[in-house]
Structure 1
Amino acid sequence: MKQKTLTLKQLYKVGTVKLAEEGIEEFSLDAWYLLEYVTGVSKAMYFAEPERAVSEENADRYIDCIRRRAAHIPLQHITGEQEFMGYPFCVNEHVLIPRQDTEILVEEAIQVMRPKMKVLDMCTGSGCIVLSILKMCREKYYMTDLQGIGADVSEEALKVARENGRRLGVPVTWIQSDLFAKIPEEEKYDVIVSNPPYIETAVIDTLQEEVRLHDPYIALDGKEDGLYFYRRIISEAGKYLKTQGKLMFEIGCDQAEAVEELMKNAGYEQITVKKDLAGLDRVVYGTLQ
């Protein structure tokens, strides 16, 4: 017997009910995003024609997407994309999904960029930080002569970063490296930015299922106290920064004091802490003397 054709409204209801049953926090919003992703229907079109029939093929695709989201697979892993700084970035299980909190780091970095500067993004992942810095500096401030380098230990992550660079039309040099291991010492940078793994190992098992099961573990694990990578980067970065160069980090909301102390002990001055939109400490940066 042929399956009854479903309308947009009916299909959306199926999605919201299923996601709500499985405890998805933003079940209504996620069900909508997946409907838009599968059918290409905007909200204006939906409200104009909620009774529009959906093809059997698209209905099946939508139900499959809902099934995957109900299993707590991140929405972005289903659609393959996440917006960051207004740009679309492709993502998958090999990279941390770009988050709005990280935009604070990009915004602060843009403020210190000047023509002909060279920026290194350590633990680059999807490349969203360095690519957004270069893209926005080009579009807003006409700085077309900046150089960007993105380094990550994961070759799979760098594949994603390369694709994002291609899609955004931003040239960046990508280097597979365990932190500074393969970064030539003769290279000197004006700015080093980093969103390193900073979650305490013992805390990872308490995170949302979407994060602990689907974000790459190596992008989360900051070892016992969450500060392992800050220590390593701060201890080595001085060899790669120009005098008066900036070292800029995203941090966990309770790590500002510890990271600030590490930077002071390593000779950084003018150390600044910036808060995110929720009023939590999110970025720490300082100047190498």
Structure 2
Amino acid sequence: MKKRTLTFQQIYREGTSMLKEAGIREAALDAWYLLEFATGISKASYYGDPDKEIKEEEAARYLGYIEIRKSRIPLQHITKEQAFMGYPFYVDEHVLIPRQDTETLVEEALKVLKPGMQVLDLCTGSGCILISLMKMCKGLYGTGSDISEDALEVARKNACRLEVNAAFIRSSLFEHISGRYDLIVSNPPYIPTSVIEGLQEEVRLYDPFIALDGKEDGLYFYREIIKAGIRYLRPEGYLMFEIGYDQGNEVACLMEKQGYRNILVKKDLAGLDRVVSGMYNGE
């Protein structure tokens, strides 16, 4: 029997169709990323010669990745990488996949940072927030903490990959943290426990539950960090959070009651509340 020969365009269309049939939302985009990952082809090469024949082993590898993605395993768990603030971060099943929404937190933090400042990133996960800040504002002293040692290993790998000299500590919030900081940032678990079961499969089944679960009302970690944070902030130091789209007013009120001032709620590119920040007045 004659072997079937396939072009890059044909295999890409086949992969896209398979993902669409499996109900993958961004089937064409994911099919393209997997084609890049499996073969190393660039968009320029593809569009320059879409009818170029694909090697048999590359086609088999690509379709294997497509089959994995059909089972709702996240794209980034296949490629082991996600871009964030323009930097390539290693990711696996032990950390939340960095999302574009979180870039709003980094952008707001950069507005108050200067070289020589001390930064603490609570619930650091992959380390994407802290490492991006240290890449984009040279001369910072950065510490990341997380309750998960597996997550910290990912963060350390990313710090090494991106040549950032950050310290990473295993700690349940402030349990093993000492000193005072000019900025504390956090993207803590903020999804109410009862909501998690309704999330899309890629999140519900493959993101670490501990990184999603914000307890009964989703505000548990905000309360704890806001209350304890004043003991770890320098006068006129800032506390900044990523929040869920419907949590802005509640988190801002919690900060106001604890004595923070200059409290701001910042929207993301979709126009949804995404960051709450406030300054510790030192009293």
**TM-score when normalising by structure 1:** 0.95
What residue number does 2:15 align with?
15
- In the alignment, residue 180 of structure 1 is paired with which amino acid? F
Q: What is the correspondence of 1:154-233 to structure 2 with a 5 Å cutoff?
A: 154-184=148-178, 187-233=179-225
Q: Kindly report which structure 2 residues correspond to 1:118-137, keeping only aligned pairs within 5 A, or say none.
A: 118-137=118-137
SS of equivalent to 2:274:
strand
**Whole-Å Cα distance in 2 between the matches of residues 5 and 163 of structure 1?**
40
Aligned match of 1:246:
238
Q: Partners in 2 of 1:3 and 1:219 — Cα distance?
A: 47
- How far off its partner does 1:115 sit? 2.1
Structure 1 runs (4+) greater than 6 angstroms displaced: none
C-alpha distance in 2 between matches for 1:151 and 1:223: 20
Once the two structures are superposed, the pairs formed by residues 61-72 of structure 1 within 5 Å of their partners are: 61-72=61-72
Cα distance in 2, alignment partners of residues 193 and 3 from structure 1: 56
The C-alpha deviation readout for 1:223-251, integer Å capped at 9, x for no partner, is: 10000000111111111110111000000
Amino acid in structure 2 at the alignment position of 1:40: G
Paired residue for 1:141? Answer: none
Structure 2 distance, partners of 1:6, 1:146, is 51
CA contact 2:124–2:144 (8 Å) conserved in 1: yes
Q: For residues 176-203 of structure 1, what are the alpha-carbon distances to aligned partners after superposition, in whole Å with 9 as ceiling and x for unaligned?
A: 111110112xx11000000000001010
| Map 1:4-83 → 2, pairs under 5 A | 4-83=4-83
Unaligned runs of 5+ in 2: none
Pick closer, same or farther for the CA change 1:217–1:2 going to 2, 3 Å: farther
Could you tell me which amino acid in structure 1 is paired with residue 35 of structure 2? L
In structure 1, distance between residues paired with 2:2 and 2:152: 46
Between the aligned residues of both structures, percent identity stands at 62
Counting only pairs closer than 5 Å after superposition, residues 136-147 of structure 1 correspond to structure 2 as 136-138=136-138, 145-147=139-141
Q: Using the alignment, how far apart are the partners of 2:53 and 2:92 within structure 1?
A: 31
Q: Residue type of the partner of 1:115?
A: P
Q: Distance in 2 between matches of 1:243 and 1:161?
A: 29
- Which residue of structure 1 lines up, in the alignment, with residue 116 of structure 2? 116
The residue number in structure 2 matching 1:268 is: 260
Q: Does 1:282 align with 2:235?
A: no
Report the TM-score when normalising by structure 2: 0.97
Instruction: Kindly indicate whether residue 272 of structure 2 is the aligned counterpart of residue 255 of structure 1.
Output: no
Contact 2:115–2:137 (CA under 8 A) maintained in structure 1: no
Q: Counterpart of 2:157 in structure 1: which amino acid?
A: E
The reply on whether 1:150 has 2:144 as its aligned counterpart is: yes
Structure 1: give runs of 5+ residues left out of the alignment.
139-144
Q: Structure 1 residues 49-58 or 13-22, which shifts more?
A: 49-58
Cα displacement (A) at 1:2: 6.6
> What's the CA shift string for 1:148-167, capped at 9, x where partnerless?
00000000001110010001
SS at match of 1:69: helix
- Describe the SS at the equivalent of 1:112: coil
